[in-house]
Amino acid sequence: MINLIFDLNNIVHRSLFIVGGYGSKMYTFDSQTQIDQLVRKIAIDISYIIRIINPARVILAQDDSSWRKSIKIEENDGYKANRVKSKMINWDNVYDAINDFTQIVTDNNGMILTKISSAEADDIITLWTDELVNNQQQHVIIVSGDEDIRQLVKKYSIDNKTIFVTVFNPFMQGKNSSRKLYVPDGFEKWLNGVQQIDFIHPSIDIDKEDFKKIILSEHTKVEVIDGEMIALYKIFCGDDGDNVPSIFTWLNNKNVEVRITNSKFEKIYEYLKTSLNKDKVKVEDIINNPEKVLEAIKLVTKQSPSFDISKRIKRQLKLVFLNTNIFPKEIIEEFNKLKYDSINKPRVSFSNVNMYSLLEGTKYVTNKKHENESSIFKEIDEIQGKMLF
């Protein structure tokens, strides 16, 4: 069984750009006409992906205010403090439209919406992934253009069953670009492996066939990645987009700030492999060996950090690492209360879903086929401009 989890805010941001005219003639979304166009565009984009994947379950993960904003960062103003909303846009109207859309698709179309106080969409995706893989033993495809979420890509072996978490980035940015299905090592071997034939109970591996449909769809490329390495990179190098500094920054002899870069990270990683006598360093290794991490930082940077390395590692984990073990207990408890009702929600067929079937009978669709159902994913490479959120 394949579960499809949308990073809803990521999809909405892209749709907002498209409806707003690629940044060249920015809509204010003050008028109902512009809001109607936005809701229809979101419905087009989501239904387009659902038709490609044809999942057993569709989950929409929606942002709330982030618990990470309470984490003190000595080097700057704090988590995502660099994000500035466009003052041209009527955000109240946009948020009301998103709430309208989510109510329509969850009440009438069998989708699952999950929004938890103080949890970001990434947190919710992580919680659902953990539940669906470890407790339900089902595959997960995450739909997002956000690079951070790729750290969840992984292969699991549970009770002699192989389960995959993959990330599908449907946004084609640039000429001759392609959509990407990010997969862990071993996925392609599993996908193309010869299935053992049971002559008494012959069957087709439906999950494999569904994955193949995604890959064979227009302009989709499979890319093997290491989710653990992506997480480690974020921990050491930080994330400029979220205003997260690297694990260590310092001033050089010209009084210019210097940070852990990709090349320095690679040297730190190689040092840790040698000092820990491991073929591969994992996140748990840096948690369990903070003194080795400090040694590596001193060696590579030729500096002597004055901070408590254990506390600094813990801070970085909270800011960039997607793992249920470090989430606030209130978020875990809230998710545990709602997950069973969501899992047991009656399933519907998503094979023929489209914008009209999603929005029919609402104020957003009054006439059939009144506008071209052109997907964001065929227009995205024309987008120019800065992030709105």
pLDDT tens digits along 49-97? 998 888 989 999 999 999 999 999 999 999 999 888 888 889 999 999 9
Share of the chain above pLDDT 90, in %: 63
Alpha-helix residue ranges (DSSP H) falling in the chain: 8-19, 32-53, 91-108, 121-130, 187-192, 206-216, 227-237, 262-276, 283-288, 290-301, 309-320, 329-343, 355-359
Mean pLDDT (the chain, rounded): 87
Confidence category of residue 38, pLDDT binned at 50, 70, 90: very high
Comparing 238 with 216, the larger pLDDT belongs to 238
pLDDT band at 7 (very low <50, low <70, confident <90, very high): very high
Q: For the residues 308-331, what does the mean pLDDT come to?
A: 97
- Enter the pTM of the model: 0.90
Q: What is the model's pLDDT at position 87?
A: 82
Q: Strand 154-158 to strand 161-169: parallel, antiparallel, or no bridges (unpaired)? A: antiparallel
The mean pLDDT value for 27-31 works out to 88
Asked whether the predicted pLDDT for residue 11 surpasses 80, the reply is yes
User: By the 8 A CB rule, do 113 and 342 touch?
Assistant: no
Least confident window among 196-210, 328-342, 354-368: 196-210
Q: Please give the pLDDT value at position 252.
A: 84
For the chain, give the percent of residues with pLDDT over 70.
88
- Of 95-104, 106-115, 188-197, the least confident: 188-197
Please, are residues 39 and 359 in contact by the beta-carbon 8 Å criterion? yes
In 109-194 the beta strands, taken as DSSP E runs, fall at 112-114, 139-143, 154-158, 161-169, 179-183
CATH of 2-226+324-381, one of 3.10.28.10, 3.30.70.260, 3.40.50.11290, 3.40.50.1010: 3.40.50.1010
C-beta neighbour count of 269 within 10 angstroms: 19
pLDDT at 383: 35
pLDDT at 378 over 70: no
Mean pLDDT in residue range 158-174 = 88
Q: What pLDDT shows up at residue 237? A: 97
Burial 81-90 (b: 16+ CB within 10 A, else e): eeeeebeebb
Residue with tokens 């003639």, as numbered in its chain: 25
| pLDDT band for position 197 (cuts 50, 70, 90) | very low
Note the pLDDT of residue 384: 33
CA 244 to chain centre: 17
| In the chain, where the domains are located | 2-226+324-381, 228-320
Among 44-48, 50-54, 131-135, 185-189, name the one with the lowest average pLDDT. Answer: 50-54
- What is the structure's pLDDT at 369? 52
Highest mean pLDDT among 106-110, 202-206, 264-268 belongs to 264-268
Tell whether the model's pLDDT for residue 172 goes beyond 80.
no
State the pLDDT at residue 200.
42
pLDDT confidence tier of residue 19, bands split at 50, 70 and 90 = confident
Mean per-residue pLDDT for 195-209? 58
Q: How far apart are CA 234 and CA 249, in angstroms?
A: 14
Res. 373: pLDDT tops 70: no
Q: How many angstroms separate the CA atoms of 352 and 51, rounded?
A: 7
